[in-house]
Amino acid sequence: MEESVTGRTGDATAPIGQRLGAARMAMGLSLDDIATATRIPKRHLATIEADAIEGLPALPYTLGFVRSFARHVGLDAETAAVEYRARLNDAPSRRYVAPEPYEPADPARVPPKWLAIIAVVVALLIAGGYAVWRNGQSDGAQIAATATDTPPAGVTAGNPAPVAPVPTPAATGGTVTITATAPVWVSISERNGPKLFEREMAIGQTFEVPAAAVDPRLRTGRPQALSIKVGDTAIAPLGRPDRLLSDQSLKAADLLATPATGSDLAPQPIAPLVPQVGRPAPQGAGA
């Protein structure tokens, strides 16, 4: 077979398979050399050179093999693929076997590894950014759900607590509003119960104590950085500056009844009057 192929090297009318074989032999290459260079199975190369169709994989794979074969032996790859497709279309029977579990692709068409790594990194960054955005959106909803969905201590699903009327702001003296005048960490929770709010508040950030809260308690290390109102009534500072304030009631009635304890508002001790014996009182003292 190889002698007949060699004899038709310059015959442009010969079938494409024979021309591929003639070009290979003219370059002094064996089928093993082509198989090693192109990673195409040797049996498929032999079938292509014989212009046969038995045992070849699906059409896209076969045409890819023909292109790689033609490029390696110096023939035009697209022309070879077109001619071989026509050969297959003219064949009386096109019996292709099922594709092999893995058919090596053309190395020139395989994406580089660095491109796949960049794609994975970008996908992870997008997923992480979306997760952070979702957490920020649901933070406020989780705080409200914690205040309303968590049952009080001692209440179980099988032994629900008796239904009691929910206190309203009007009945308790008004809505309790906390506003940060400086960056400050704040924790608000039910007494012996779940947390209602816990984070570092920025300047101007406001939090309203839920009307359904039973006995809310405040904990902070900078009481002077909080402006507290009950309705429209401003409450004096609840603690000394930069001193830990723990277990401070945030009930409206308790806040309205609590005297100011700030360092600048704390009452100063008054020295007792000591009567002066034997000395006349200054004129006008008794007036």
State yes or no: pLDDT of 89 exceeds 50: yes
Structure token pair of residue 91: 């064949």
30-41: b or e for each residue (b if 16 or more CB lie within 10 Å)?
Answer: ebeebbeebebb
Strands, E assignment, 173-267: 176-180, 184-190, 195-201, 206-208, 216-220, 226-230, 233-235, 245-249
* Annotated domain spans of the chain: 2-109, 170-257
Between 201 and 161, residue with greater pLDDT: 201
State yes or no: pLDDT of 55 exceeds 90: no
What's the pLDDT tens digit per position in 97-113? 445 555 555 566 667 88
Instruction: Give Cα 57 distance to the centre of its chain.
Output: 43
Structure token pair of residue 223: 């009481």
CATH class entry, domain 2-109: mainly alpha
